[in-house]
A and B are shown apart, each in its own frame.
Chain A
């Protein structure tokens, strides 16, 4: 595939300079209010070129609003924002010339055929047809849609539409790709195909900015992420370091039935490092989950089900906010 053949050349071009990393996005105290509602409340972050950077948080945390401000399609209330050295509010068209945007809901042009969607979108950037025609074919191959080039958009499956949206976002060879909940609503197989495509882009040096409320997605794709809740940054770091800092190595999940989960808490006191009682289950945070389970049974407690697993970002989020990520 042409895209990957040329990847080696690209990684050379996009490698950050030896000394200070080159930041493609710098946000300082970024704030957005809609009337009385503060959607984004003074967040600051920097993203170096080539990084996969995630915004993890529940619905309504301010992730999409942040994405819109980066794209210059939403005006911030206060704070400063620089995309490749430009303020997106002052230089919207210039900034967007180097952005690829995959919105939360596909907004493909249903009146146009699959390949024409790519060509027309490229024209919006003022790109010449001589460039766009081979580029469109290359992207169709990348998105595994070559045999659908002449199809109508509404004949595509959900996963295909999503891939076409991603292909479309790459038509201008963006340096930054904004992905707002890229796999929401897709079945597991379609998600994995999509993740694979995103990995390839990352390998080629594209900076990925990704919002998600799926912790597995964040763990798979992100080099670094911020956990956002109610418009504020709760924590920042790599998935592994966040788990290390805010959780234990393993988690023991116990279900005693919805009647007993709450009352059993007192009897589990002292097992593991921390205890979290949820409506449907009890979580015991421990370095060794199996050992914790032995202690539980030693106390004569008989959970309906028990499960030992490694800590995930879900646990980090629970620890930071006291709420679970997906309700």
Chain B
């Protein structure tokens, strides 16, 4: 059957032959790991400094705000009503922000470049890969990076004595959940972007979300309508979720925060896959 050497038996195409009878056949070939493997291989040759800087950013914020500003603020009231240091109050919020930033960077700027300049996805989609394989693979890579940052940051929190409960270890998977939500949506949104100017809009949304999502002070300082608005934004749910986990206080709201991200992930994956299909399989 094969053309050049005859080394390849038809069974070697099993990944694609099997595609015939499965769901999402035209868009998904169950080969996400090939996209992930490519990403890891590419990382070997990429600039490690960029990756490391992503880790330091929240750490620097924690030191300056938590330790510096915290010296004036003193202790504040945590989610369960207990007194905690200001650094312990903002640390989980900064972790949520770093999960967001890492995921958004990977799924927007990175994807924008690959989509429009490196033409990477065009090449991928001329193989057995479907758009869903590509989307899931890229999102997974963003999560891997998010998980590394989250682990590092949690370790820093431990060293600084900001962890008081074993529950805090759950902040790592929760941060990955947050990253998943942002990565899946970010990639879908990026697919609409055509120019660098449009890409700047992403920062325009991210910065206010970072500053005002109850990151550095409680939501109660705002008037009610603004509180509702912020509660509709994804980052606030991430901040609250991690803050609850950091002290081991769980309420029905915890489930709402998790649910928010599950819905965001589902919608984001659908959006991204649909967009890739429209863009490359038109």
Contact = CB atoms under 8 A, between A and B. Distances in A.
A174 B3 contact: yes
A135 B122 contact: no
A228 B26 CA distance: 30
B55 to A, nearest CB: 21
A9 B2 CA distance: 11
Interface in B96-152: 118-120, 122-130
Main secondary structure of the interface of A (DSSP, over half): loop
A105 B119 contact: yes
A2 interface: yes
Given A2-B5, A14-B3, A92 B45 contact: no
Contacts of A134: 7
A99 B128 CA distance: 9
Interface in B224-279: none
A124 B41 CA distance: 14
A127 B33 CA distance: 12
Interface residues of B, number: 43
Interface in B1-54: 1-8, 12-17, 19-20, 25-26, 29, 31, 34-35, 37-38, 41-42, 45-46
Interface residues of A, number: 55
A-B pairs with the 6 shortest C-beta distances?
A126-B15, A124-B127, A107-B119, A111-B42, A123-B34, A97-B16
27 contacts: A9-B6, A10-B6, A73-B281, A75-B281, A90-B26, A91-B25, A93-B16, A109-B42, A109-B120, A111-B42, A112-B38, A113-B45, A123-B31, A123-B37, A124-B31, A124-B128, A125-B127, A126-B34, A134-B7, A138-B4, A138-B5, A152-B45, A173-B3, A201-B3, A204-B4, A205-B3, A206-B3
A107 B128 contact: no
Contact of B45 (A73, A90, A97, A112): A112
Given A123-B37, A175-B3, 4 more contacts: A97-B16, A111-B118, A138-B4, A152-B45
B280 interface: yes
A124 to B, nearest CB: 4
Contacts of A175: 1, 3
A89 interface: yes
B31 A173 contact: no
A110 interface: yes
Contact of A111 (B2, B20, B45): B45
Contact of A97 (B4, B13, B25, B37): B13
Contacts of B38: 109, 112, 120, 123-124
Contacts of A111: 42, 45-46, 118
A101 interface: yes
B13 to A, nearest CB: 5
